[in-house]
Amino acid sequence: MIEVQNLSKSIDGNSIVKDISFSVGKGEILGFIGPNGAGKTTTLRMLSCAVSPSSGTATMAGFDLVRNDREIRQILGYQPETPPLYPFMKVRKYLHFMAKLQNIDNALIPGAVDDAIDRCKLSTMVNREIGRLSKGYRQRVGLAQAILAKPRILLLDEPTASLDPEQINETRSIIRNCADDAAVIFSTHIMQEIQHVCDRIVLIKNGEIRHKQHIRTGPKDANTRNLVLTISAIQQSEIPLDERVSTVLSDIGVHFEFPSARNSSENTVKVYCNLTDADQSQYDLTRSLIDANLNVLEIMPRESDLEQTILNFMKD
Amino acid sequence: MRNHIYITSVIWRKELYSYFWSPIAYIILPVFLLVSGYFFSFSLFYLQVATMSNAFHNMAILLLLMAPAITMRLMAEENASGSMELLFSLPSPYSAIILGKYFAAVTVLLIALGGSTVFLIPLFLYGDPDPGPIFAGYLGIFLLGSVYMAVGIFVSTLSKNQIIAAVGTTGILIILWFLAYLDNFALVDFFGISFRYLAISQHFGEFVRGIIPLQSIIYMLSLIGLFYILSWFSVYRKRYMV
């Protein structure tokens, strides 16, 4: 859906973004992570048609970013870092106004506005002037305008900044729901956000991509938990340990993967598991492993793993 | 084209609403009417001149100061708040956005001029003025004010700071108004004639005398078109050339 090839941006001779390339598929959420000034916002501004790139190409839903920007703007939803809202407008009126500017058919505007209000849980605030809203609610109004036209491409610049924990949770659900039919790029510097929302991450520093990583190994779900298990064998067997672990996990239907760098001769094995609360629990997982004569030495949330990776790249 | 007109009307309504939500309209309109009303009364009751010509001249000078206050926020505010960035990501044409804002400013001008028609009541009560020059004068002041607004919106696109936008607009308007005075300093006749022709005060003077010269209408409409194109280019530059 989004294909970025060697995109660069220089302003007054300074390279802000240097030759970055990545892609995002339909239904995928790409986390764009990096320290302040890394070039995240500039990249999103380029992709949102707000500024033109200095070099490189990008296609979105088959449309070229430079040549077909009009077509791209028809299918794009964009929430800037600080949503620029008009303080004198009431929430509903603002969304109506934005819906008109987004070329939504007049007959469909009330439905689209109501839907965005419902999804962003703004129904108690619809008749309040934006200037009187809290920062968190303003952020939600910004998100509501971005999803008004059910965009096929959604670009979100730090959408959970200044939200309280409950609002963050709700915003994550909204973003995940939007990703069913869209390609989403989500910029943040909060690592927990990445773990909870994104399928893949692109780590950017000093305008360059430093690291790309898949996060999810299984299906997306609000309650997905990623764990790192360290397992040893209670009873030795001729079958290699990782093979025994694979058999057990496959039998109980848990999505898993082994770390890319591992030593099969070791007595312990590390495995990344992906659980959902609805049909799987940590208890069932450990029970099954123990029943297969395997010893679960440690269970850790995978966040710490990812966090460490990211921090290592940030330090470089 | 239909979309263009639609977006223009959407922006026009929003901007007009914002004028009356903020104190701008409530300060500018009464000040304009009170000050121009004072000069009109002075001319009518003290100087015993039962025409609108003095009032039109005073309005033109007053608008030199008022127009920047009306237009300064139109684009500068969008630049400062970052909403221009959001507007660029929408499928609305920039030209329609600028036009909607411009029409909103012109509407405020029309309301001010509409309010000034109350001056006609004592004028017709105490005198016997010729309606022709009054009509020409109103057309002239409307076109003049529309040029002022076009200059104002252009300067507003250049800055994030409303004060700078206002001061810049006033500067350009003063140059346009007093250009005719450079005639005295021109060493070559051609320049003297050019300065006089380009001075907006010269063209406006024709309207106040009760004439509706086609060349002055074309001149004013050309200035409006020129500053509209410059505004468009300034916005376009931000998107493509920064």
Give residue A305's pLDDT band: very low, low, confident or very high (50, 70, 90).
low
In this predicted structure, what is the pLDDT of residue A279? 66
CB contact under 8 A, A73 and B90: yes
* A220, part of any domain: no
In this predicted structure, what is the pLDDT of residue A286? 85
Q: Are A134 and A242 contained in the same domain?
A: no
Q: Are A154 and A261 contained in the same domain?
A: no
Residue B74 tokens, joined: 């139109």
Last residue of a domain, one of A191, A214, A237: A214
Task: Compare CB distances from A102 to B18, B81, B91 and report the shortest one's residue.
Answer: B91
Asked whether the beta carbons of A305 and A261 are under 8 A apart, the reply is no
Q: Are A148 and A42 contained in the same domain?
A: yes
Calpha distance A19→A5 (Å, rounded): 7
Task: Give the gyration radius of chain B's Cα atoms.
Answer: 19
Q: Are A238 and A289 contained in the same domain?
A: yes
In DSSP terms, which residues pair with A58 in a beta bridge?
Answer: A4
Q: Are A13 and A135 contained in the same domain?
A: yes
Residues of B in contact with A139 (CB under 8 A): none
Per-residue pLDDT of A14-55, as tens digits, reads 888 989 998 988 888 898 888 888 888 899 999 988 888 889
Q: Are A92 and A123 contained in the same domain?
A: yes
Last residue of a domain, one of A164, A192, A214: A214
In this predicted structure, what is the pLDDT of residue A222? 45
In this predicted structure, what is the pLDDT of residue A239? 85
Domain range for A238: 225-310
Four-residue CA torsion sign, B70, A134, A92, A30: positive
Residues of A in contact with B85 (CB under 8 A): 45, 48, 50, 80, 84
Asked whether the beta carbons of B10 and A97 are under 8 A apart, the reply is yes
Among B90, B92, B238, which would you mutate to test the A interface (most chain A Cβ atoms within 10 Å of its Cβ)?
Answer: B90
Per-residue pLDDT of A119-159, as tens digits, reads 888 889 999 999 898 888 888 899 999 999 889 999 998 88
* A189, part of any domain: yes
Domain range for B104: 2-240
Query: What does the angle CA A47 – CA A53 – CA A54 come to, to the nearest 5 degrees?
Result: 165
* A219, part of any domain: no
Q: Are A247 and A119 contained in the same domain?
A: no
Mean pLDDT for A224-248 is: 83
Mean pLDDT for A175-183 is: 83
Of B170, B149, B162, B223, nearest in space to B61 by CA:
B170
Last residue of a domain, one of A214, A240, A258: A214
> A8: domain CATH number?
3.40.50.300
Angle of helix B214-240 versus helix B53-81 axis, rounded to 10:
10
How many domains would you assign to chain A? 2
Asked whether the beta carbons of B126 and B44 are under 8 A apart, the reply is yes
Q: Does B89 touch chain A (CB under 8 A)?
A: yes
List of E strands, A80-199:
153-157, 183-188
Asked whether the beta carbons of A56 and A19 are under 8 A apart, the reply is yes
* A316, part of any domain: no
Residues of A in contact with B88 (CB under 8 A): 48-51
The residues, any chain, with a CB within 8 Å of residue B207's CB and separated by 6 or more, are B56, B136, B137, B139, B140, B141, B143, B213, B216
Task: Compare CB distances from B240 to A52, A103, A145 and report the shortest one's residue.
Answer: A52
Q: Under an 8 Å CB criterion, which residues of A touch B?
A: 11, 45, 48-52, 70, 73-74, 76, 78, 80, 82-86, 88-89, 97-98, 100-103, 145
In this predicted structure, what is the pLDDT of residue B9? 92
* Low pLDDT (below 70) residues in chain B: 2, 186-187, 240-242
Asked whether the beta carbons of A232 and A295 are under 8 A apart, the reply is yes
Per-residue pLDDT of A258-290, as tens digits, reads 876 666 556 788 888 887 656 677 788 888 888
> A275: domain CATH number?
3.30.70.100
In DSSP terms, which residues pair with A185 in a beta bridge?
Answer: A30, A155
**In terms of CA atoms, which chain A residue is nearest residue B83?**
A84
Q: Is A202 helix (H, G, I), strand (E, B) or coil?
A: strand
Task: Compare CB distances from B89 to A11, A73, A103 and report the shortest one's residue.
Answer: A73
Task: Compare CB distances from B242 to A11, A83, A103 and report the shortest one's residue.
Answer: A11
**In terms of CA atoms, which chain A residue is nearest residue B3?**
A103
Q: Are A204 and A247 contained in the same domain?
A: no
CA distance A98 to chain B (A): 9
* A75 vs A194, residue with greater confidence: A75
The residues, any chain, with a CB within 8 Å of residue B237's CB and separated by 6 or more, are none
In this predicted structure, what is the pLDDT of residue A219? 45
Consecutive H or E run containing A73: helix A69-74
In this predicted structure, what is the pLDDT of residue A107? 92
In this predicted structure, what is the pLDDT of residue A221? 46
ipTM exceeds 0.85, yes or no: no
* A315, part of any domain: no
* A127, part of any domain: yes
In this predicted structure, what is the pLDDT of residue B140? 94
Per-residue pLDDT of A189-225, as tens digits, reads 777 777 778 888 888 888 888 877 777 644 444 455 7
Residue B117 tokens, joined: 């028609």
Phi, psi of A134 (to 5 degrees): -70, 165
How many domains would you assign to chain B? 1
Token pair 């300060």 is found at B27
CB contact under 8 A, A103 and B14: no
Q: Is the pLDDT of residue A293 over 90?
A: no
Q: Are A239 and A298 contained in the same domain?
A: yes
